[in-house]
Amino acid sequence: MAETLWQRQLREGLAEMELSLSDEQQKKLLAFLALLNKWNKAYNLTAVRNEGEMVSRQLLDSLSILPWVTTERLLDVGAGGGLPGIPLAIAFPEKHFTLLDSNGKKTRFLNQCILELGLANVEVIHGRAEDCAPEKPFSQISSRAFTALDNLVDWCGGLLANDGRFLAMKGLYPDDEVAALPGGWQVSSSHSLKVPGADGERHLLIVTRTEQSR
């Protein structure tokens, strides 16, 4: 059976990023992408409409932060269409992922993904970050195209452990957002992300509390 465009783009992209995922994991990633593409027509889950760009801008972009996901429990805020939460959960079946979004259509889609893809390590919360009350804080919280950094720490700081890390995915390095971070917060490191097939810059900012505020 001939390899599809998506299969080839994913296989070549993972190799270029030096990421090793099983055939079964790659199959699940592409099944997720098919669901996203199908539901996007009615639910407006993502701005990416060109099927030729979807593997790069959705799957590979999400997987670009894999080396920095070190916790057993990660919260993805503003989860939207499940990016990066669902691809990360497929890549790390032994870790637990909580996906939070205030949009009911998007959380319905996420629950459908869990059902159809058999993702036992994912739970979905429909609600606002400010109203979320987890049993214990998270050591890592991811954010992709959700909000500015000052809003992120304001709305979600209470969900993060004292020594926890925000994994904030951005395009161009956001100098203005970094400068606007409130006292007690800092960008402890930033990393340029290489995403095969994607135009433009991509950055991961690790945002933590300052030593004095922990």
What's the mean pLDDT when you consider all of the chain? 94
pLDDT value at 47 more than 70: no
pLDDT of the residue at 199: 86
**Using alpha carbons only, how large is the chain's radius of gyration in Å?**
17
- Closest among 83, 75, 9, 74 to 45, alpha carbons compared: 83
pLDDT tens-digit series, residues 79-102: 989 999 999 999 999 999 999 999
pLDDT of the residue at 51: 75
pLDDT of the residue at 40: 81
Look at 33-37, 49-53, 209-213 and tell me which has the smallest mean pLDDT: 49-53
pLDDT value at 49 more than 80: no
pLDDT tens-digit series, residues 154-193: 999 999 999 999 999 999 999 999 999 999 999 999 999 9
Amino acid sitting at position 162: N
The structure tokens listed for 58 are: 């959705």
Largest CA distance in the chain: 59
Whole-angstrom distance, CA of residue 79 vs CA of residue 164: 19
pLDDT value at 52 more than 90: no
pLDDT tens-digit series, residues 54-70: 899 999 999 999 999 99
3-state secondary structure of 123: strand
- Collect all residues with Cβ–Cβ distance below 8 Å to 5 and sequence separation of at least 6: 51, 52
Confidence of residue 112 (pLDDT cuts 50, 70, 90): very high
Average pLDDT estimate for 109-129: 96
| Portion of the chain with pLDDT greater than 70, in percent | 97
Average pLDDT estimate for 182-205: 95
Residue 37 vs residue 161, higher pLDDT: 161
pLDDT of the residue at 145: 82
Confidence of residue 43 (pLDDT cuts 50, 70, 90): low
